[in-house]
A = this chain, B = another copy of it.
């Protein structure tokens, strides 16, 4: 490609609404252009990256045996009513009426559409396994779209759906997709991590998220550097920090802690480690039976230095539909306001659940259910009945790994892929069955597998940038090589050399751009450093006189001279090394 035949439009400043680095750099590099809130034009430079991402995804999906098709953007509401998602999905689902007043949705995902295809097309076990995928525009009406392509409303997703005759088949299809995803993210040239995620319906390891590692990532990834354990914060199991119950050595003592409502304040006042304190969290569950609403209040206990994991809380039997208690409910049950609550002597009975670590603590400090007072020396069994025990907290770095093979570390990531065992949830509600060997109808076992195509761009940049701009991995760079001739219009030697290298690289299938805009070197270099092309060749009269061209990798601190005759093989060797 010649720059003068292409559209290059860079900006010195990012627009004010761009908050994160990937959004700023994509706007400045002219890769995207805002059309509306969370809705972007993919400009020519950005589209090239998207196409490269799509190509890698497509090749690996095809290699995995998945079959490409294309489902519509606009889908009839009836299908979504069958599965109940029409009712459940909420405001993120973009709903639209046609001229006849019929309801449609703009697809955020395609489980319903593909299950509709499957229930018509899959008749026999002989057709299974099957895996269909498409790369299509999606729409989610985010409450607050922001961060450019990271949380847009319209975006491109690859979504695949597998169909199997039984759970064993599903597990094989799932592993097949997992392996394809590993190949895909490796080919992107991005640092990534697959972490186990929780999937309520199926349980176990029926779900993994693929994250691009980036300090700016929204998600905390938990992993064990000395084993292959990895999970997201919801799925990472927090073991007890004690093997056995700590022995009671103190008497239960009510201690004045005026105005000290937080564990940190109490620990400071009493001059004890924060780890000796216990935090109280009050939840309410309302159940409706025969038009009568029953209310149950729960007390969850977490060590003072730990954090409640709300997803884990929802998995405690009976807590599936909890909400945080109101102050009135708290006063009613504990006789005092938040900050001084504890499991000892509650005003009304409450269900107590202790985090695994709290359940092993002795001589702990908790609220005395009286304003401005805490208990010290509280002990299970003696001062308060044995609690229910559950994993309630977020793990922290240094926690023991659940696999017993080391301690946990935490890093930040950006979720860009998800593989998920759906089981029969969709096939059941949509009656998607096949006939088994005995001619009996059986529900299809389904899996779903997504990759956020456009989100990859944002994530790749969050991982790879410097103060000059983007640093694309070669595999998804808009161009692999840029040739920058200095004074091309004035110097026939420069022009000839530039054209020759350009022609040679083109002939070798290299995705090269010749910058024939005849700009000043400074502007030209700034553009390509901002845009992030990984390999740059500068051709100038001075170098040519010495028989040299100048090469600079986007991450290199300094440019280096390469003999004119060697540059082609130098570059192709660089590119080869990257792609192998």
A10 CB, min distance to chain B CBs, angstroms: 11
Q: Does A522 contact B (CB under 8 A)?
A: no
Contact A47 B72 (CB under 8 A): no
Q: Does A40 contact B (CB under 8 A)?
A: yes
Contact B106 A35 (CB under 8 A): no
Q: Which of A16-24, A96-104, A458-466, A545-553 contacts B (4 or more CB under 8 A)?
A: A96-104
Most B CB contacts (10 A, CB to CB) among A95, A98, A143 go to: A98
Contact A72 B7 (CB under 8 A): no
Partner among B5, B7, B67, B74 whose Cβ is within 8 Å of the Cβ of A132: B7
Q: Oligomeric state, in number of copies?
A: 2
- Complex: A132 Cα to B44 Cα, angstroms: 9
Partner among B41, B71, B79, B94 whose Cβ is within 8 Å of the Cβ of A69: B41
Q: Does A39 contact B (CB under 8 A)?
A: yes
Contact A39 B139 (CB under 8 A): no
Interface size on A, residues (CB 8 A): 49
Contact B94 A96 (CB under 8 A): yes
Q: Which residues of B contact A73 (CB under 8 A)?
A: 73, 106, 137, 139, 154
Contact A72 B106 (CB under 8 A): no
Most B CB contacts (10 A, CB to CB) among A6, A65, A95, A106 go to: A106
Q: Beyond A96-B96, A113-B35, A120-B33, is A106–B71 a contact (Cβ under 8 Å)?
A: no
Contact B41 A117 (CB under 8 A): yes
Q: Does A70 contact B (CB under 8 A)?
A: yes
- Complex: A79 Cα to B36 Cα, angstroms: 10
- Complex: A39 Cα to B107 Cα, angstroms: 13
Q: Beyond A33-B117, A106-B106, A132-B7, is A47–B69 a contact (Cβ under 8 Å)?
A: yes
Q: Which residue of B lies closest to A78 (CB)?
A: B36
Contacting residues of chain A (64-117) with chain B, CB-CB under 8 angstroms: 65, 67-76, 79, 91-92, 94-96, 98-99, 104, 106, 113, 116-117
Q: Which residues of B contact A99 (CB under 8 A)?
A: 91-92, 141, 143
- Complex: A39 Cα to B96 Cα, angstroms: 14
Q: Does A43 contact B (CB under 8 A)?
A: yes
Contact A5 B75 (CB under 8 A): no
Q: Does A42 contact B (CB under 8 A)?
A: yes
Contact A76 B39 (CB under 8 A): yes
Q: Does A265 contact B (CB under 8 A)?
A: no
Q: Does A360 contact B (CB under 8 A)?
A: no
Contacting residues of chain A (190-240) with chain B, CB-CB under 8 angstroms: none
Contact B154 A41 (CB under 8 A): no
Contact B104 A74 (CB under 8 A): no
Contact A121 B9 (CB under 8 A): yes
Partner among B6, B33, B40, B71 whose Cβ is within 8 Å of the Cβ of A67: B6
- Complex: A228 Cα to B246 Cα, angstroms: 98
Q: Which residues of B contact A132 (CB under 8 A)?
A: 7, 44
- Complex: A143 Cα to B102 Cα, angstroms: 13
Q: Which residues of B contact A117 (CB under 8 A)?
A: 33, 41, 43
- Complex: A495 Cα to B106 Cα, angstroms: 47
A213 CB, min distance to chain B CBs, angstroms: 28
- Complex: A199 Cα to B69 Cα, angstroms: 38
Q: Which residues of B contact A6 (CB under 8 A)?
A: 67
Partner among B9, B39, B68, B95 whose Cβ is within 8 Å of the Cβ of A72: B39
- Complex: A130 Cα to B50 Cα, angstroms: 22
Q: Does A153 contact B (CB under 8 A)?
A: yes
Most B CB contacts (10 A, CB to CB) among A70, A92, A96, A120 go to: A70
B interface footprint on A371-399 (CB within 8 Å = 1, 0 otherwise): 00000000000000000000000000000
Contact A72 B41 (CB under 8 A): yes
Contact A68 B44 (CB under 8 A): yes
A140 CB, min distance to chain B CBs, angstroms: 10
Q: Which residue of B lies closest to A94 (CB)?
A: B96
Contact B74 A153 (CB under 8 A): yes
Most B CB contacts (10 A, CB to CB) among A36, A92, A121 go to: A36
A458 CB, min distance to chain B CBs, angstroms: 16
Q: Which residue of B lies closest to A77 (CB)?
A: B36
Partner among B7, B35, B72, B91 whose Cβ is within 8 Å of the Cβ of A71: B35
- Complex: A40 Cα to B73 Cα, angstroms: 10
Q: Beyond A68-B44, A68-B47, A94-B96, is A35–B76 a contact (Cβ under 8 Å)?
A: yes
Q: Which residue of B lies closest to A33 (CB)?
A: B117
B interface footprint on A40-63 (CB within 8 Å = 1, 0 otherwise): 111110010010000000000000
Contact A98 B33 (CB under 8 A): no
Contact B98 A7 (CB under 8 A): no
**Contacts A5-B65, A35-B79 supplied; 20 other A-B pairs, CB < 8 Å:** A6-B67, A7-B69, A33-B117, A35-B113, A36-B72, A36-B104, A39-B72, A39-B75, A41-B70, A42-B70, A44-B69, A73-B139, A74-B106, A74-B153, A74-B154, A92-B99, A94-B96, A96-B96, A98-B153, A99-B141
The 3 A-B pairs with the shortest beta carbon distances in the complex, nearest first, are A36-B76, A96-B96, A42-B70
Question: What are some 21 contacts across the A-B interface (CB < 8 A)?
Answer: A6-B67, A7-B67, A7-B69, A7-B130, A33-B121, A35-B71, A36-B72, A36-B75, A36-B76, A36-B104, A40-B72, A41-B69, A41-B71, A42-B69, A44-B69, A47-B68, A73-B139, A74-B154, A91-B99, A94-B98, A106-B106
